[in-house]
Structure formats: structure tokens, C-alpha cells
Amino acid sequence: MSPSIYPQILEDPLRNRGTAFTAEQRRVLGLDGLLPPAIETLEQQAARSIEVFRRRPGALDKYVNLRQLQDTNLVLYYRLLVDHLEEVLPIVYTPTVGLACQRFHRIFRRPRGLTLSYPMRDRLPELLRNRRQRDVDVIVVTDGERILGLGDQGAGGLGIPIGKLALYTAIGGLDPGRTLPIVLDVGTNNEERLADPGYLGWRHERIAGAEYDDFVERFVSAVEAELPQAMVQWEDFATHNARPILERYRDRICTFNDDIQGTAAVALGALIGAARASGTRPREHRIVVLGAGSAAIGVADEIRQALVDDGLDPEQARRRFWVLDVDGLLTEERDDLTEEQRVYARPAGEPSGGTTLADVVRSVHPTAMIGLSTARGAFTGEVVREMAAHVERPIIFPLSNPTARSEADPADLDRWTDGRALVATGSPFPPIERDGRTIPVSQSNNVYVFPAVGMGVVAAQAARVTDGMLRAASAALGARSPALTDPTAPLLPPISGLRELADHVALAVAVAAVADGVAPERSEQDLHRRIANARWEPVYPE
């Protein structure tokens, strides 16, 4: 092989080491003169890279800096993420990733993953074969219609799968060379995107109905043909598509919906920890859920099953919930509810006194309040003080993303409840200052579960993702709540401990996969060994 083609290694982020190539490697590969003469260790590269990152003036600039590193040197990129996870997580993931999706066409530099556009619907298997990765363990796919709380971002939604898969590797330990981000570019109804001459997606209104369903079917069929062993995670699909897609394919391919099931698993894990910290059992709680989209109903469904597992019959568990949407409490006389929402419809006239959030809290005296509404500030001082007047340790989870759409600021919740609230948020917030102490705010973020689910599936060679596997993840997470040993501690483990936690949760997922009969029979010890062997580490191989 002619040495003249070896410099292509500098263009391959999986193999490029940049200034860490040794003198011998540079000579053999024909890299002399293409790199500065200094030879650095990975540690030196990482120190220099984090300094550059910190000097970037704004969040989006920091995001672009990391994406450029990701496109250049994957080992160095993930070394940075692993060593500084707490610092870079809000940039790689929420809230900055939302802004990156809004500006996707402005910051686009190099292709990553696949954009499957509707006009190419007859060529999807061919497009999948154009991927850089040959073997794929995990696919994260979106259609860009409901990006966080920001709405339809069209093809720019690809930023979400890119960010998610970065965390599959940085936290879950999956090999980045075996992951694939995809956006189904089916148009957009975002007038700002359509009118922008710089928009890079298919400039067409979003397709719907039978055409949309057929396109998704073509995608799934192409995955079955080209990547039959891959797990598919559905991400940020609108409510009217999210659950139907999940139900249509969950028994056909290895798949789950992170907004419905991942959000629910983390929220349940946080609730389990909160219940134990308050000296109660899950079945004792009265739960108000603000929001009735796919994520909110998914959370309610998961917690409802946990109440059944804790001893309630299904009807008793159902009646522990009061769910509200933009029009107020879900009630039986309403004719605008989906089948999934109707499960939580309350009888007409119950509770008495009105159907707003304030009315329901006054009447019901809930012990837990969960927000997935994207309605900023919906958990007002009046509502929270009323709740806190009737329960010693109110459980309050404002889970909407991004930060600007959160139902409440944790500092306000702490002040309104005299420090008694057990709080978890959907987006990152600064620590709370109370009585001279600095108390971190738990972020009920899906990163506590989905990277571990991916590793558990891969290590166990699971053919499906079952409800039992996700409940096992919740239980494993709840069992690690710091609040179990310190009532003033956060509900969830610190971000800095996510990699160690992921191994614990992944093992629970893998064991459940075997128990549910969707993975080959293996002992817990064997599964633990397989997880350790599958973990990819950001180091240059010998």
C-alpha cells in the first residue's frame, strides 16, 4: 500500500490520534510534516482541549467546539466527556442540545449519522448501507417533530440522536463505532425553518397519516434487513405518533421509546427513592401529573404499575392519579381524550371545586406532583404552599425540558416548603443554598437509565426491551438514592457517579432480560462479566 494514502487516517475520527501519534507511527504512516513535531499523551491532549472548551464564550460555541472534536478524534472527545461529565453534560445534552437543533443548519460542518428524507423513501436500504459503521448495536432515531419543549425542528432534530448516543458511550460504555444517529426527514411545519434559505432539510410541510406510517414502516423494514441485531430507540416523536409507533413495533424489533419509557423509568426511580426517604411506600401516594402527552402518560403508567406491584389492585392504583392537560383535569365527560389518557379520567364532578391545578391540589391534597407540561412556572407559590400544608415531605418533580420550560425553579420550591420538598428536575439547575449548606439539585434525567438499558441489551444479547427490564432499571436506580441514608441529600446519585451507576443498572436490565425470556440463559455473574468486557474505554489502543 502506498504511503501516500495513509494520511487518510487523520480524517477518520475512530482511528485518528492527532498529536498523540508516536514518532514511529508518524514515520510508518507517512504523517511526518502533517502534524506539529510535539508528541502528546492523551492526558496532555485532554488538558489542552478542556482549556479551549472553557474559553469558548457561550453554550452554543462550546457545543460546536465539542462537535468539532467529535468529528476529529473520538477517543479524545470521549476522554473529555468522561473526565468532565458534570461540566459538559449540559452542553452535549439538555439544555444546549435544544438550541443546537434550532441552529443546526447554521452550525453544520461535517455529516454524522444519516438523514433519511421522504423523497428517497424507495431507497432506504441503500441509504442505510451508506453508513460509516458496519456493525451497529444501537440506533437512536427521531423525526424532529417534538424536540424537547421546542417543537418541530425538522431535519435539525438530528442533534438529539447525536447527543443521546454520545451519552450511550460516555456513560453506558457502548462502542461509539457501533452506534448510529438517524433523523427521518419527513418535512416540517415550522414556518421559520421553511422560510429560512439556510435550512438544510426537505423543504416541505410535514407528511402525515398513511404516508407517514408507510415511511416509518419502510424504515423499520430496512433496519430489519440491514441491521437486524440493532436496538432502536425512538426519540422526540410527537404524542400522536410516539405511542402508536412503539405499540406497532415493540414486539417486532428490539426497541423502546425514551420519552415514554425512559422518562417513566427515571421518574419512577426518583419516586421510589423519595418514598423511602419520606418513610412511606409508593402505594400510599396521591399523585398529580401536570401534562397529558406521551411522556406524561408514560410516567403515570409506569408509576401505576409500581403501585400494583406494591399491593394495590389495578383500579385502586388508577384512582391514585389526577392528570391535567392544557384544558384542565382529565374527566370522563370530556370527548377529546385518547385511549391512553382516558385511563386516568376522573368521574364527573370529582373532585369538587374546579378542574384547574390549584383546584385539584386544594381538593386532593396530593403527596406527589409531577410536571411534564412545558408550562413554565405552572407550579406556583400558591399551589406549592397549599400542597406543603398537608404533607410533611412533598414530592415535587418539575420535569419539563429545557430549563426555560420547567414548571418551577428548585430554589423557589425549597423556599416555599421550608426545605421539606423532595425535588427532582428535568433540566440542570444550580445548587440550593440552605442554612449555610450547598445542596445539589437532582436532575431526573433520562441519562440515569437509557445508556444502561443499551449496555444491558447489548451484553445480554436481548431480542426485545420489555417492561420488566425498564422496571428493573427503576428499582436499581431507586435503591441507589442518596436520600435513603441522608434525608437532606439529593434524590438521585451525582452526575459524577453515572458511569459506575450505569454498570449497576445495566446488570439489573440484563438479568431481567434473561428472566423475561428475551435473552439467552446466563447467570448473573456471567452477565456482569459480559458488561465489563463490552465496556468501551476512551484510550488509544496499543
Q: How confident is the model over 254-264, as pLDDT tens digits?
A: 999 999 999 99
- pLDDT averaged over the chain? 94
CA-based nearest residue to 362, from 342, 343, 385? 385
For the ranges 114-118, 144-148, 314-318, the lowest mean pLDDT is seen at 144-148
> How far apart (Å, rounded) are the C-alpha atoms in residues 30 and 330?
68
Number of other residues whose CB lies within 10 A of the CB of residue 281: 13
Kindly indicate the confidence band of residue 337, based on its pLDDT and cuts at 50, 70 and 90: very high
Q: Provide the CB-side half-sphere exposure for 330 (13 A, CA).
A: 25
- Inform me whether the pLDDT recorded for 313 exceeds 90: yes
Mean pLDDT calculated for residue range 478-496: 88
The full length of the chain comes to: 542
What would the mean pLDDT of 443-466 be, rounded to a whole number?
Answer: 96
With pLDDT > 90 as the criterion, what percentage of the chain qualifies?
A: 87
338 touches 289 (CB < 8 A): no
Alpha carbon distance 205, 78 (integer Å):
37
The pLDDT of residue 239:
87
Annotated binding-site positions for a divalent metal cation = 235-236, 259
Under CATH, which number does the domain 281-305+313-430 receive? 3.40.50.720
- Calculate what percentage of the chain has a pLDDT beyond 70: 99
**Residue-level pLDDT at 7:** 74
Mean pLDDT for 379-404 is: 94
Predicted local confidence at residue 6, as pLDDT: 62
What does the alpha-carbon distance between residue 473 and residue 502 come to, in Å, rounded to a whole number? 10
C-alpha 93/C-alpha 87 separation (Å) is 11
- Residues 70-88 have pLDDT tens digits of 999 999 999 999 999 999 9
Tell me the one-letter amino acid at 202.
Answer: W
Q: How confident is the model at residue 294 (pLDDT cuts 50, 70, 90)?
A: confident
How much is the pTM? 0.91
How much is the pLDDT for 60?
Answer: 97
Same fold, 3-72 and 96-253: no
Statement: residue 1 has pLDDT above 50: no
Instruction: Say which CATH topology domain 96-253 has.
Output: Rossmann fold (3.40.50)
Residues carrying an active site annotation: 93, 164
Q: Is the pLDDT of residue 154 over 50?
A: yes
Domain 3-72: CATH architecture, name and number where available: Up-down Bundle (1.20)
Which parts are annotated binding residues for (S)-malate?
A: 146, 401, 445
Across residues 9-29, what is the average pLDDT? 95
Identity at 312, one-letter amino acid code: L
DSSP class of 207 = P
Out of 200-209, 410-419, 424-433, pick the least confident: 424-433
Nearest partner of 338 among 305, 296, 368, judged by Cα: 296
Q: Express each pLDDT in 90-124 by its tens digit.
A: 999 988 999 999 999 999 999 999 999 999 999 99
The angle subtended at Cα 238 by Cα 451 and Cα 178, nearest 5°, is 30
Residue 320 has pLDDT above 90, yes or no: yes
Place 5 in a pLDDT band, splitting at 50, 70 and 90.
low
Indicate the annotated binding residues. 146, 235-236, 259, 401, 445
Q: Taking the domains of the chain in order of start, what are their residue ranges?
A: 3-72, 96-253, 281-305+313-430
Question: For position 24, what pLDDT does the model report?
Answer: 95
Q: Is the pLDDT of residue 4 over 60?
A: no
State the Cα angle at 411 between 236 and 375, rounded to 5°.
Answer: 35
